Amino acid sequence: MDLDFRVVAVLAPIVLAASWAVFNIGRAALGQIQDFLNREA
């Protein structure tokens, strides 16, 4: 089973962008959750 390089070339930027978006959104969400928990305490 040989992986076509074109598939990797197409999917790599999409995966990179999606992971970057998830990282940024997750970091902001964690910050909001921590602020909420600190406000409750």
In whole angstroms, what is the distance from residue 39 CA to residue 24 CA? 23
Residue 17 confidence (pLDDT): 98
In whole angstroms, what is the distance from residue 26 CA to residue 37 CA? 16
In whole angstroms, what is the distance from residue 35 CA to residue 2 CA? 49
Residue 3 confidence (pLDDT): 76
Residue 28 confidence (pLDDT): 96
Residue 4 confidence (pLDDT): 87
Q: CB pairs under 8 A, 24+ apart, for 7-11? A: none
More confident residue, 23 or 3: 23
Which tens digit of pLDDT belongs to each residue from 8-37?
999 999 999 999 999 999 999 999 999 999
Say whether pTM exceeds 0.75. Answer: no
At residue 4, what are phi and psi to the nearest 5 degrees? -70, 135
In whole angstroms, what is the distance from residue 8 CA to residue 4 CA? 7
Residue 1 has pLDDT above 80, yes or no: no
